[in-house]
């Protein structure tokens, strides 16, 4: 039986349609195919015995070091064995970007020193291990079939088939190379030159990634610049080439509570991520990706009445995301159930409308104009929010303990009115501005009366509750109140007092969410605190906490959804898009607070939140 590697020990590669997670022992432990939300071919990360894997590693003991080829999503795992050193280079060609088949996992093994004996162990387990499978030797490799999918392992060494596994051993001396190509459905007979595929894949990623010349006044300047670039590369890896949708994470059911039930499928797009995602992408200079993403969700919104807009969708716009459990899977370190699909798609989350308007307004600030159909969609959303803002919902955290009057949901309804007014005014669109302004003020008055607790000295999670919620840190960022408002500063202080641990870890909330067990600190919430501090004039404190937070990223620069406050271990799905978005935007706010320039208009928290520190101070 294999042990489960720590979540944070994995690296990720992908082709802009799907991703594979590679463990430090050279094992591909997670690989859904053909798309990120598809059933798995390898899922050892969720069940070491039944999930399946593709491992290449030395036969003797070894130590491992890992890196990405500079500014790429090409992963190198170097094994330091007793008699020599070998490196496995893993990648998939990005879809539509290089002239090589995208449905192939390329694994290059180089011996750089001495002699290394290595073993190959391929255990395909199609459809989460549920499909009946056959394996046979064919003329150009070993073919495995299960359900509607198949793989063909093209190997330079002799392989054997035994008990559903494909195995083999080989030796390499210094200077020798061996290529292993796992061709998936549709790529069995495609011609390819693996060296050329590697060279062109590296060239694509290095050309695409954010770079700065020495004389540039980069908004992301600082000791964290490389972390920002890695976060950008993660976001691109999670962006579907065909639709432009961005997945929350490439994995499902990695636990927020080891051994518990807080295991969710994150291989979908949450509309709530839109505003801060677009801000990050535009300031990184990736306008094409930002526009594609906005086009994608605008098409979804135009297809549905506002009431029918879901909190999340599949990466091709699928709305049926019924939540199911995979029977027989142990789950990561016995964390069950293993879930596919996500029941939160059926929840009512009123905050999503404000987050959509944040994204649209951000794009308009960068010069995008709305056509008549797009404006009709935005106007319809704002009108709908006017009707429902005072109703309860499930909230941003998708609690499963019943709907409440969540403060953040009310504030984001205010945002929907506020940005709707701004977009209509700036774009000279037809709108009932007086009615919208009246509703905006009603929402604001309602939140100030019911969402702020004088005894706590802070905005709370929901009306009638004294529980704190990290979303209170966003009220000045979205422009609801200025940063120097005593209620804002009181909320920051209360968050530090009640939700902060070890000076950097911020939990999402301290209220009941209807689920058993606990969870770690939410990386994004730690970023929100850093943002609030930076924009409140406490820049040195924000920088110190940001550098501490970055020290918890794995050596590859990747981070999960949460971090265990006692051990520093990563928890939840990995790598997490929202965590990396938080890193980009925190670096952006810190850069601006230090006087660096940004691309286009000032970022959202500066433009709207009336920061204490302005550019140039």
Q: Is the pLDDT of residue 61 over 50?
A: yes
> What is the per-residue pLDDT for 213?
76
Distance CA 391, CA 351 (A): 12
Taking the complete model, does pTM exceed 0.85, yes or no? yes
Q: Is residue 480 part of a domain?
A: yes
Task: Specify which residues 276 forms β-bridges with.
Answer: none
Q: Is residue 314 part of a domain?
A: no
> What is the per-residue pLDDT for 517?
74
Distance CA 508, CA 470 (A): 5
- 301: how many CB neighbours lie within 10 A of its CB? 21
Q: Is the pLDDT of residue 519 over 90?
A: no
Q: Is residue 45 part of a domain?
A: yes
Q: What is the pLDDT of residues 371-409, one digit of tens each?
A: 999 999 999 999 999 999 999 999 999 877 789 999 999
Q: What is the pLDDT of residues 423-467, one digit of tens each?
A: 999 999 999 999 999 999 999 999 999 999 999 999 999 999 999
Q: Is the pLDDT of residue 98 over 70?
A: yes
Domain that holds residue 63: 7-188
> What is the Cα 115 distance to its own chain's centre?
39
pLDDT band at 604 (very low <50, low <70, confident <90, very high): confident
Calculate the alpha carbon distances from 193 to 141, 150, 371 in Å: 16, 21, 45
Instruction: Give the domain-ending residue among 188, 207, 230.
Output: 188
> What is the per-residue pLDDT for 1?
60
Q: With contact defined as beta carbons under 8 Å apart, do 535 and 613 qualify?
A: yes
Q: What is the pLDDT of residues 488-502, one digit of tens each?
A: 999 999 999 999 999
When divided into structural domains, the chain yields a total of 2
Residue 40 belongs to a domain with what CATH number? 2.70.98.50
Q: Is residue 337 part of a domain?
A: no
Q: Is residue 327 part of a domain?
A: no
Q: Is the pLDDT of residue 314 over 50?
A: yes
Output 238 or 598, whichever has higher pLDDT. Answer: 238
Distance CA 326, CA 336 (A): 9
pLDDT band at 605 (very low <50, low <70, confident <90, very high): confident
Mean pLDDT of 355-373: 96
- Report the half-sphere exposure of 111 (CA within 13 A, side-chain side): 20
Q: With contact defined as beta carbons under 8 Å apart, do 16 and 94 qualify?
A: yes
Percent of the chain at pLDDT above 90? Answer: 89
3-state secondary structure 107-165: EEEEEEEEEEEEEEEEECCHHHHCCCEEEEEECCEEEEEECCEEEEEECCCCCEEECCE
| Helices and strands in the chain: count of H runs, count of E runs | 14, 26
Percent of the chain at pLDDT above 70? Answer: 99
> What is the per-residue pLDDT for 399?
78
- Report the half-sphere exposure of 60 (CA within 13 A, side-chain side): 11
Q: Is residue 70 part of a domain?
A: yes
Q: With contact defined as beta carbons under 8 Å apart, do 573 and 251 qualify?
A: yes
Instruction: Give the domain-ending residue among 156, 188, 220.
Output: 188
pLDDT band at 595 (very low <50, low <70, confident <90, very high): confident
Q: Is the pLDDT of residue 79 over 50?
A: yes
pLDDT band at 212 (very low <50, low <70, confident <90, very high): confident
Mean pLDDT of 285-305: 94
> What is the per-residue pLDDT for 149?
97
Q: Is the pLDDT of residue 215 over 80?
A: no
What is residue 203's three-state secondary structure? helix
Q: Is residue 384 part of a domain?
A: no
Q: What is the pLDDT of residues 342-351, one digit of tens each?
A: 999 999 999 9
Calculate the alpha carbon distances from 417 to 405, 410, 444, 609 in Å: 18, 11, 11, 16
Instruction: Give the domain-ending residue among 188, 223, 239.
Output: 188
Q: Is residue 123 part of a domain?
A: yes
Average pLDDT taken over every residue of the chain: 94
Distance CA 65, CA 25 (A): 10
> What is the per-residue pLDDT for 614?
42
Residue 488 belongs to a domain with what CATH number? 1.50.10.10
- 168: how many CB neighbours lie within 10 A of its CB? 19
H or E segment and range at residue 586: helix 577-593
Q: Is the pLDDT of residue 241 over 90?
A: yes
Distance CA 185, CA 363 (A): 38
What is residue 208's three-state secondary structure? helix
Distance CA 518, CA 419 (A): 36
Q: What is the pLDDT of residues 114-137, one digit of tens each?
A: 999 999 999 999 999 999 999 999
């Amino acid at each position: 039986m294999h042990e489960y590697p720590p979540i944070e020990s994995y690296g990720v590669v992908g082709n802009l349609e799907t991703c594979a997670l590679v463990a430090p022992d050279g094992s591909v432990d997670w690989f859904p195919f053909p798309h990120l939300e598809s059933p798995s071919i390898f899922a050892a990360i969720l069940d070491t015995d039944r999930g399946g894997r593709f491992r290449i590693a030395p036969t003797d003991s070894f130590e491992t070091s890992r890196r990405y080829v500079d500014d790429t999503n090409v992963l190198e795992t170097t094994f330091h064995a007793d008699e020599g050193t070998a490196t496995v280079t893993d990648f998939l060609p990005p879809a539509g970007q290089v002239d090589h088949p995208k449905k192939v996992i390329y694994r290059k093994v180089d011996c750089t020193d001495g002699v290394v004996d290595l073993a190959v162990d391929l255990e395909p387990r199609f459809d989460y291990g549920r499909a009946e499978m056959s394996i046979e030797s064919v003329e150009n490799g070993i073919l495995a079939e299960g359900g509607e999918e198949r793989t063909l392992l093209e190997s330079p060494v002799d392989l054997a088939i035994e008990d559903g596994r494909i195995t083999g051993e080989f030796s390499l001396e210094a200077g020798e190379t061996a290529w292993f190509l796992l061709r998936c459905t549709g790529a069995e007979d495609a011609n390819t030159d693996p060296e050329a595929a590697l060279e062109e894949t590296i060239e694509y990623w290095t050309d695409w990634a954010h770079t700065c010349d020495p004389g540039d006044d980069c908004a992301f300047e600082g000791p964290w610049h490389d972390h920002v670039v890695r976060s950008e590369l993660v976001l691109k890896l999670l962006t579907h080439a065909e639709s432009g949708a961005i997945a929350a994470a490439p994995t499902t059911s990695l636990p927020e509570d080891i051994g518990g039930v807080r295991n969710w499928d994150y291989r979908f797009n949450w509309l709530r991520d839109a505003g801060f995602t677009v801000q990050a992408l535009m300031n990184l200079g990736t306008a094409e990706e930002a526009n594609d993403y906005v086009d994608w969700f605008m098409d979804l919104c135009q297809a549905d009445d506002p009431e029918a807009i879901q909190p999340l969708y599949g990466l091709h716009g699928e709305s049926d995301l019924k939540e199911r459990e995979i029977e027989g899977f142990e789950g990561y370190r016995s964390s069950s159930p293993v879930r596919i699909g996500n029941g939160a798609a059926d929840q009512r989350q009123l905050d999503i409308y404000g987050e959509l308007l944040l994204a649209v307004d951000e794009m308009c600030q960068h010069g995008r104009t709305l056509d008549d159909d797009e404006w009709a969609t935005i106007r319809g959303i704002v009108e709908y929010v006017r009707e429902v803002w005072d109703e309860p919902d499930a909230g941003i955290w998708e609690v499963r303990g019943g709907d409440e009057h969540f403060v953040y949901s009310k504030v984001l309804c205010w945002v929907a009115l506020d940005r709707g007014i701004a977009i209509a005014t700036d774009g000279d669109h037809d709108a009932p501005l007086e009615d919208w302004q009246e509703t905006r003020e009603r929402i604001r008055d309602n939140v100030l009366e019911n969402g702020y607790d004088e005894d706590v000295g802070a905005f709370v999670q929901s009306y009638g509750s004294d529980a704190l919620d990290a979303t209170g840190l966003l009220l000045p960022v979205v422009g609801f109140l200025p940063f120097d408002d005593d209620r804002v500063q009181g909320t920051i202080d209360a968050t530090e007092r009640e939700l902060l641990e070890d000076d950097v870890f911020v939990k999402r909330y301290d209220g009941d969410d209807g689920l058993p067990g606990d969870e770690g600190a939410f990386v994004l919430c730690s970023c929100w605190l850093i943002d609030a501090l930076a924009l409140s004039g406490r820049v040195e404190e924000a920088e110190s906490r940001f550098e501490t937070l970055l020290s918890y990223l794995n050596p590859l620069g990747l981070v999960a959804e949460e971090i265990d406050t006692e051990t520093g271990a990563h928890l939840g799905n990995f790598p997490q898009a929202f965590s990396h978005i938080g890193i980009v935007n925190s670096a952006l706010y810190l850069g601006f607070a230090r006087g660096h320039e940004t691309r286009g208009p000032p970022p959202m928290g500066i433009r709207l939140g009336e920061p204490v520190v302005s550019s140039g101070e």
